[in-house]
C-alpha cells in the first residue's frame, strides 16, 4: 500500500482513468469530464469507461457495463466523486452499489451541493471508500484534466485560456498591418481543435473590425462531427457598434455581444442578436462581470483569441488562467505587440507563468503555461503530467 492507502495497481488504474476522462473534453459540457477503471480482486482491469457526452451514461455506469458480472466484489477507481443525485441519469452511487462494488477510490471530491457527498453515501452502504489527499500528485492530475468544470463549480466562473499567435519578437502583425499568416497552417489547424475543447471563444471589438473573423470551427483534430456543439462566439464591443454584416454574427454558431450597460444595443437585439450588458468600471468594461456573466450562462471554459488590449486587461484583472502561445520563427522588429496595457510597470510586478508544455507545431513552437497566482509566484512549482 502507498501512504494514502492505495495500492500501486490502483494508482496505475487512476492514471488510466485520468487519460480516459480527457477523452470527454469538448463533448461533456456543462458536465465534468470523468474516467473510471474497474479492478477485480486480483487487480486486473475488467472495465473501463468515461463520460462521453452530456446526457449520456456517466463514467462509472460505462465502466460497470464494460465489466459486467466481474464488477461484483471489485474496486472502482474514479477521477471524480460519484454523484448521489438524479439528473438526466440516475445516481452513480446506486449503480456502484447495485453492481456489487466493494471499494471505491476517488481522486477528487465533488464540490457541488447537489451531487457531492457520494463518498459518504457509499460508506453508509458498507462500501470502502478512499479519497486522495489534496496534495496527492495523482489528485492534482485529475484536477487538471477537469480544471474548467472544477473552477466553475468552486468559483462560479469559467477558466480563461489566452491563445496567441506571434512572431519570435512578440508581434502579431507587420508595421503595415498585414497579419496573414503569422503562424503556420499546422498551428491554425490546432486552433480549431482548441475551439472544439471550449464553450466560448472571446475576442475584442477591434478584431471583427480589423480581420472580420468567423470564429466557428471548420476543422478539428478528431473530426468536426465529434464536437457536441459550436462554441459560443463572444465579442466585447463596449459601444455596441459591431456591423450587422460581420461574419461573426452569422448563424453558423451562436454569438453573444458584450456591451456597456446603457449603450445602444437595441439595433443588435432588434436584429435577434444576443447581448450581455455589463457595468463600466473606471478603466473600462467590468471584466469580472463579463466573466461571471459567462459562467451564469453555463460557460465553463473560454478561449480568449483576439485583441492585445483586451488580453492585457484580462491579464491585469487576474482573469487569465492559462496561456497557449504559437511562436513563429519570424522576426519583424515593428508592428502590433501581442499584449499591451497589463499595468505592469516594473519587473517585480511581472505576471509569472509556469510552463507545462513546449512542443513543435509544424515550423512553430507551441508553449503552454499556467498563470501563477501572485501569492504563489515566489514558490517553486511542480507539474504532474
Instruction: Give the catalytic positions in this structure.
Output: 60
Judged by phi (left if over 0) then psi (alpha if -120 to 50, else beta), residue 282 lies in: alpha
Q: Are the CB atoms for 151 and 32 separated by under 8 Å?
A: no
Cα 41 from Cα 350, distance rounded (Å): 53
Over the chain, what HEC string results? CCCCCCCHHHHHHHHHHHHHHHCCCCCCCCCCCCEEEEECCCCCEEEEEECCCCCCCCHHHHHHHHHHHHHCCCEEEEEECCCCCCCCCCCHHHHHHHCCCCEEEEEECCCCCCCCCHHHHHHHCCCEEEECCCCCHHHHHHHHHCHHHHHHHHHCCCEEEEEEEEECCCECCCCCCCCCCCCCHHHHHHHHHHHHCCCEEEEECHHHHHHCCCCCCCCCCCCHHHCCCCCEEEEECCCCCCCCCCHHHCCCCCEEEEEECCCCCHHHHCCCCEEEEECEECCEECHHHHHHHHHHCCCCEEEEEECHHHHHHHHHCCCCCEEEEEEECCCCCCCCECCCCCCCCCHHHCCCEEEEEEEEECCEEEEEEEECCHHHCCCCCCCCC
Cβ neighbours around 296 below 10 Å, total: 11
Q: Are the CB atoms for 121 and 93 separated by under 8 Å?
A: yes
Amino acid at each position: 500500500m502507498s501512504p494514502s492507502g492505495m495500492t500501486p495497481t490502483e494508482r496505475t488504474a487512476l492514471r488510466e482513468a485520468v487519460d480516459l476522462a480527457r477523452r470527454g473534453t469538448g463533448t461533456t459540457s456543462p458536465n465534468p469530464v470523468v474516467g473510471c477503471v474497474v479492478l477485480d480482486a486480483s487487480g486486473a482491469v475488467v472495465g473501463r469507461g468515461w463520460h462521453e457526452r452530456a446526457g449520456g451514461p456517466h463514467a462509472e455506469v460505462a465502466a460497470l457495463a464494460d465489466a459486467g458480472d466481474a464488477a461484483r466484489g471489485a474496486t472502482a477507481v474514479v477521477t471524480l466523486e460519484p454523484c448521489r443525485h438524479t439528473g438526466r441519469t440516475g445516481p452513480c452511487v446506486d449503480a456502484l452499489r447495485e453492481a456489487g462494488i466493494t471499494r471505491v477510490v476517488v481522486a477528487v471530491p465533488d464540490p457541488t451541493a447537489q451531487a457531492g457527498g457520494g463518498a459518504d453515501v457509499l460508506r453508509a452502504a458498507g462500501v470502502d471508500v478512499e479519497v486522495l489527499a489534496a496534495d496527492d500528485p495523482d489528485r492534482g492530475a485529475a484536477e487538471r484534466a477537469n480544471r474548467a468544470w472544477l473552477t466553475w463549480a468552486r468559483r462560479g466562473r469559467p477558466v480563461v485560456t489566452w491563445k496567441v499567435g506571434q512572431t519570435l519578437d512578440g508581434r502579431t502583425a507587420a508595421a503595415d498591418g498585414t497579419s496573414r499568416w503569422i503562424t503556420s497552417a499546422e498551428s491554425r489547424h490546432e486552433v480549431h481543435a482548441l475551439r472544439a475543447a471550449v464553450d466560448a471563444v472571446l475576442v475584442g471589438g477591434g478584431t471583427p473590425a480589423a480581420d472580420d473573423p468567423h470564429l466557428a470551427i471548420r476543422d478539428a483534430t478528431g473530426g468536426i462531427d465529434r464536437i457536441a456543439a459550436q462554441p459560443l462566439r463572444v465579442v466585447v464591443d463596449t459601444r455596441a457598434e459591431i456591423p450587422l454584416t460581420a461574419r461573426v454574427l452569422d448563424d453558423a454558431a451562436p454569438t453573444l455581444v458584450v456591451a456597456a450597460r446603457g449603450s445602444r444595443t437595441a439595433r443588435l437585439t432588434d436584429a435577434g442578436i444576443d447581448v450581455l450588458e455589463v457595468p463600466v468600471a473606471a478603466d473600462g468594461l467590468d471584466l469580472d462581470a463579463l466573466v461571471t456573466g459567462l459562467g451564469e450562462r453555463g460557460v465553463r471554459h473560454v478561449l480568449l483569441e483576439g485583441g492585445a488590449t483586451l488580453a492585457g486587461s484580462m491579464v491585469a484583472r487576474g482573469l487569465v488562467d492559462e496561456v497557449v502561445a504559437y511562436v513563429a520563427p519570424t522576426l519583424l522588429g515593428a508592428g502590433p505587440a501581442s499584449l499591451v496595457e497589463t499595468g505592469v510597470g516594473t519587473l517585480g510586478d511581472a505576471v509569472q507563468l509556469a510552463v507545462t508544455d513546449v512542443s513543435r507545431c509544424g515550423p512553430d513552437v507551441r508553449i503552454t503555461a499556467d498563470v501563477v497566482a501572485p501569492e504563489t509566484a515566489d514558490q517553486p512549482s511542480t507539474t504532474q503530467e
